[in-house]
Amino acid sequence: MGSADAALFPGFDSRRIRTSGAEIACVIGGGGPPLLLLHGYPQTHAMWHRIAPALAERWTVVCTDLRGYGDSSKPEGGERHVNYSKRAMAADQVEVMRALGFDRFRLAGHDRGGRVAHRLCLDHPQAVEQVAVLDISPTRVMYGRTDQAFATAYYHWFFLIQPFDLPERLIGADPVYYLRRKIGSWAGGLAHFDPRALAEYERCFSDPATIHASCEDYRAAASIDLEHDAADAASRIACPLLALWGDKGVVNRLFDPLRDWGSVATDVRGRTLPSGHFLAEEAPDETLAELQAFFGH
């Protein structure tokens, strides 16, 4: 177990689990029914450190690094970015949970992790008991409503999808500056972040392979993921879904998460929390309480 994991996730074990397409790094702690937590961009599983230990008092908590992020492997993007489709990324997570002995589990995803969770619920409905999505609306909905306000606030959606290697070179010139500027702008500054977690984000994002893989993630989201979503337009997430989003964030300002998730899921509830984008780090107590209440049913 790395020193950062030992400090941020006391009592958890670290593992590397090989899937059919990647090798996934994760931490596991607690006992009881399984709960999988998926991080977002440009972070790692460290983003859950303020709530995972408390969740582990009631559940077996698994926090993974998505393929391409953190200490997980970074496969090449493949034709049409297929290896970073949310379908491929979701398959990793199902295989990880099966390797740990869990065929069915609760699931929460923030940001990119929420998009992986959305696809996982569609492709593997039998695996998911309940799902929570943090500070997102569905990808297809958000792209479909793009206007100047959204493009300005989420410029990275359109920057990162540019052909290789324009965004890679520009971010790679000063990745720590880019990361700090990006997460700081979404959170109203860096004071919300534990220095140990921030150091982990910086360490991992400074790897050119991570920068490239994260661009492939977004390239897939603007191409093959939209094709998959269009093909499944008549399908709906069947399990109960909780949407949480920050009252200071772009999603709250420009979208309607309950309505948006209601267009793709059958059983939706949720609300705003006093936070920017990074709910689990900016409003950990409120986020924890909502997840405990939801998953406790």
Whether residue 111 lies in the annotated active site: yes
Whether residue 207 lies in the annotated active site: no
Q: How far is CA 51 from CA 10, 215, 289, in A?
A: 12, 28, 10
Which position among 65, 111, 135, 225 bears the catalytic label?
111
Which position among 110, 118, 228, 277 bears the catalytic label?
277
Asked if residue 25 lies in contact with residue 72, where contact means CB atoms within 8 angstroms, the answer is yes
Would you give the end-to-end CA distance of the chain in angstroms? 33
Burial (Cβ within 10 Å: 0-12, 13-18, ≥19) of residue 3 = exposed
Assigned token pair, 42? 């440009």
Cα separation, 210 vs 119, in Å, equals: 22
Cα separation, 96 vs 92, in Å, equals: 6
Looking at the annotation, which residues are catalytic? 111, 277
